[in-house]
Structure 1
Amino acid sequence: MPDRLNRAAVVDRAADLADRIGLDELTITKLGRALGIAPPGVYRHVADLEDLRGAIAQNAAREAAAVLSAACAGLSGRDALGAVAHALRDWAAGRPARYAALQIAPDPDDAEGTAAAGEMIAAFASALRAYALDGDDLTDAIRLIRSTLHGFVALELGAGFKWPRSTDATFERVIDGLDAVLTQWAS
């Protein structure tokens, strides 16, 4: 395995490992063991743990963008918003560390990281086309959706909902609430 390693393979394996153990638990030592190499060998592919997490975040943004774009293709309005919301929630549940990495904003000087984050933002913007928002309104709408969904997803992933009420039912009401706000902003 070590002779087949490259940066992309190391980052992919790191993301898989982090999804199992948690992003905060990911270390160069643990990754080296998982790869079957001495930990210093990992540094041939990544500069340090921050670089590794940034690469995971970049890949996560691209993966999430593809998932969100596919989810809302051919849909508009509440249907597109709901599809994006459900797709993000489902994606995060299956990839918790990648989702956590997605919350790390790229350094403004990181052209690749910024482009990957832009792909995800573009997927949200595409889902909101029917609301006819632009400029600051569109920026605010995307921020509202991302922060609302992130709050719900983070609480759900962290076992923050203990009451017997269905989280699925609540999630639908969250989407309805977002749709109502965006519809009002559009008018």
Structure 2
Amino acid sequence: MEDFTSKLWAEKERINDLLEEAQLELMRLLDERSNLEGKIVRLQLDIKHMAAICGTTIEDPHKQLGVTGMIRWVLADNDGPLTIAEVENKLKTDFTFDPKDYKNSRSMIQTVVTRLIKAGDVEQNDRLVANRQKTEKAFQWIAKYKPDMPWERWAEESEIEELREELDK
């Protein structure tokens, strides 16, 4: 029995070490993600300015944002929890999202939200439905960072024209 107990304690110690390593790796990766987000923003600004210098029109990054990115932004930009139907409606109004492009758009949104929950960015916060005495599944952004949207720092056409005029002087 003593041999089993000592093995059990040794295994617990090994698992504690693995847990500590995993937590350190997570912290390192979160820092790395934060650094990457900063680099992305700086690169977007560089691209904007270089395009103005070259007189080149660049594609609107809003159109380049994937479904996961759009869902991240919708959840992060809202103060309270949203249902899948509300996420879908915001995707339609805030983005160029067309549910007809998907066999089952709400199922696809649910899958993305489930992945965001597993990543620790979103949590489920069920809420009471007014006048119906029942709750509905709702989801809320909880990550410490709010995702930067490419177009928040992207040049408007008027800004590009101003930069071109300054360069032509």
> Under TM normalisation by the shorter chain, which class is it?
under 0.3
TM-score (norm 1): 0.24
Between structure 1 and structure 2, the one with the greater Rg is 2
TM-score (norm 2): 0.26
Higher relative contact order (CA 8 A, sep 6+): 2
User: Which one has a larger percent helix, Structure 1 or Structure 2?
Assistant: 1
